[in-house]
Amino acid sequence: MSVPGRFIAFEGGEGAGKSTQARLLAEALRARGLTVVVTREPGGTPGAEAIRALLLSPPGEGWPPEAEALLFAAARADHVAHLIRPALARGEWVICDRFVDSSRAYQGGAGGLGDEAITALHAFGSDGLRPDRVILLEGDEAALAGRLAARGEAADAIEGRPAEYHRAVAAAFRALAEADPQGFARIDALGAPEDVHARILAALGDLLP
């Protein structure tokens, strides 16, 4: 009998180290003999990557908030239909760098559209698919901003929004995690990557074969 696939999402603000931790988790799971797909949002499929480019470098004067939320939901619908659900159906583990809770925190919370609208778009677009566990990487605002600056990459259209927008994102993530302590693991993102990785493995202990 094949081991059922599991779906793990990494969430958090900019500079929290999601991509590094997604990679470290994938390596640890593969070492246990599991088949793992690492993917990201917005993106992960050719269609969703095309929408990613539209979202992060908007042509024209920038998307109205509603259009932005629809584009994220459209990218996710493609990603879920063409990559995530098929992988889970094959019994693979899917590790996703951001998923619907990013839309809930950024567009729903900080962007002011509200959780109901985002949840409704997700129900329509992706039949409401939820991760088995969300790893929320959290850390002090100044420390995370420092990490981001050290990377030296130009900010995209969303990353470049003002500090109060990103503060509202962090508060929204916190509220989502508090409302669903079973679904979210809140992880301290500060410290050495291997220490953060150990915290994440411990938080997934009940899901590991």
| Chain contacts with ligand TMP (rule: CB under 6 A) | 14, 41-42, 72, 98, 102-103, 106-107, 158-159
Q: Tell me the two tokens of residue 87.
A: 């992988």
Q: Which whole-number Å values give the CA distances from 90 to 7, 87, 93, in the listed order?
A: 12, 5, 9
Least distance in Å: CB of 42 to ligand TMP? Answer: 5
Shorter beta-carbon distance to ligand TMP: residue 52 or 186: 52
Shorter beta-carbon distance to ligand TMP: residue 5 or 42: 42
Shorter beta-carbon distance to ligand TMP: residue 107 or 126: 107
Least distance in Å: CB of 43 to ligand TMP? Answer: 7
Least distance in Å: CB of 16 to ligand TMP? Answer: 9
Q: Are 48 and 41 in contact (CB under 8 A)?
A: yes
Least distance in Å: CB of 72 to ligand TMP? Answer: 4
Shorter beta-carbon distance to ligand TMP: residue 47 or 91: 47
Least distance in Å: CB of 110 to ligand TMP? Answer: 8
Q: Return the ∠ at Cα 159 (arms to 164 and 177), rounded to 5°.
A: 65
Which residue number is nearest to ligand TMP in terms of Cβ? 106
Residue whose C-alpha is closest to residue 159's, from 173, 145, 172: 145
Shorter beta-carbon distance to ligand TMP: residue 92 or 103: 103
Q: Return the ∠ at Cα 158 (arms to 155 and 159), rounded to 5°.
A: 40
Distance CA 38, CA 42 (A): 13
Q: Are 16 and 151 in contact (CB under 8 A)?
A: no
